[in-house]
Each structure stands twice: as structure tokens, then as C-alpha cells.
Amino acid sequence: MKTTELRQKDVASLQNEVKELQKAHFGLRMQKATQQLNNTATLRSTRRAIARAKTILAETIVKQGASK
């Protein structure tokens, strides 16, 4: 998901997005462990997507805290 799409979401949906990405990453790690994962680059992309979502989540929380 692109950063522009993530920035349009609220805190609850960003937290949900992070949780879903972490579940997907866990599934990919299990596939890798059982030799079922063909494209290992997906691990890197999901890890970076998690970091991207967490960064935008933190920015959103700080921005909401500053505006109150």
C-alpha cells in the first residue's frame, strides 16, 4: 500500500493494517521455514510495508496529540 493511501487512514485502521501485515509476514516466514516459499523477496517487501505503516501511525498519533 502506498504512503498516500496510508496517510488517509485513521489511527484504528492503521493499527489494523499493521496487524494484518504482521500476520502476513508471519505466514511468509512459516512458508520459508517449511521450504514452500518460492519468492523470498516478499519477506523483505512485507517487512518494509510494516515499517512504513508503523511510521505513518506514529506520525498520525503525534499529529493528533499536538493538535489537541
How many Cβ atoms from other residues are within 10 Å of residue 7's Cβ? Answer: 11
Confidence of residue 16 (pLDDT cuts 50, 70, 90): very high
Question: What pLDDT does residue 45 have?
Answer: 97
Per the domain annotation, does 29 fall within a domain? yes
How many Cβ atoms from other residues are within 10 Å of residue 8's Cβ? Answer: 9
Per the domain annotation, does 67 fall within a domain? no
Per the domain annotation, does 17 fall within a domain? yes
**Count of domains forming the chain:** 1
Per the domain annotation, does 68 fall within a domain? no
Question: What pLDDT does residue 41 have?
Answer: 96
> What CATH number should be reported for the domain holding residue 16?
1.10.287
User: Domain span at residue 19?
Assistant: 3-62
Confidence of residue 67 (pLDDT cuts 50, 70, 90): confident
Q: DSSP letters along 10-68, please?
A: -HHHHHHHHHHHHHHHHHHHHHHHTT--S-THHHHHHHHHHHHHHHHHHHHHHHHHHH-
Report pTM. 0.91
Per-residue pLDDT tens over the stretch 23-64:
999 999 999 999 999 999 999 999 999 999 999 999 999 998
Amino acid at residue number 6? L
